Copies of this chain bind each other. A is one copy, B any other.
């Protein structure tokens, strides 16, 4: 075993909140460069665990405490370019026909002069919303406009994405590759929207050259459409992983409540879930579900809305964690328009 297995560890966090029906993510925004997730190095001398390291410098950088956190994935890819060949495995977070996995790309040059960087991505949920200097909350659909189906199927899918992906299929180097690309197109943007496949879709768009990062990583000048707001390094990829994970987790763990105030109306809860899932839900059924699951309990108090009948304020019943095996909000019923 070689002694030179020396690398440095970078920690990135997708810190998520929900504000006025929009899912937002905390980014470090500068005028002269792309938005970045808060990130920093892991200093083994001062921290016992990766997570305590994360909490420490996130605290310093953004001045607030993380609540729920969850490790997402560790990326260790060298370089930022898209290698043509593929020794890669049959699987990984998303999977593609072209080998990519170019995540921590760029950090190497930035962080610790030349050492290889392995980056560990985290998801954090919070309801605190005070910004620190240098950081700001941005709606995550700025980065993934095709992921918000709450009002309607985003028009860009038919007008831009599908034509471009069809071309991508056509341009495949050989028949086998074309077939793979066709399959992926179908899974990602074909019949039946699976809101959890955020990462797969981003990966496909990346490989098809539809996001700016692809051209940047390849050292090219971007031509043609570039969808969504780009991010620094592979941060958009980490954010995609975070959204995918959160959308999945929603269904079997009561994680939404980490994003809610201590008390809330059922509609507020529904709007938060919809914001995260990017889908509309059937109101009556949503209530039935929440009630049946015993996820909330009434407080006896009521909201004072500008218009309309006041709704009862509820609070999360922490006890469900003991009672139910998988208390979540399986969002079966999806509708395009609210009712």
Contacts and interface: CB of A to CB of B under 8 A. Distances in A.
In the complex, the count of this chain's copies comes to 2
Contacts of A93: 71
Nearest to A90: B68
A328 to B, nearest CB: 13
A194 B327 CA distance: 12
Given A49-B78, A66-B89, A325-B192, A5 B112 contact: yes
Given A5-B8, A5-B43, A187-B321, A89 B55 contact: yes
Contacts of A83: 48
Interface in A48-71: 48-53, 55, 66-71
A139 interface: no
A88 B50 CA distance: 10
Contacts of A53: 76
A194 B325 contact: yes
Interface in A301-328: 321-322, 325-326
B112 A92 contact: no
A293 to B, nearest CB: 14
Nearest to A101: B49
A88 to B, nearest CB: 7
A115 B1 CA distance: 14
Contacts of A132: none
A67 B183 CA distance: 21
Nearest to A123: B91
Interface string A65-106: 011111101111111000100011111110000000100000
A41 interface: yes
Given A50-B118, A51-B89, A52-B87, 9 more contacts: A1-B41, A3-B113, A6-B112, A51-B92, A51-B101, A55-B87, A68-B90, A118-B118, A186-B322
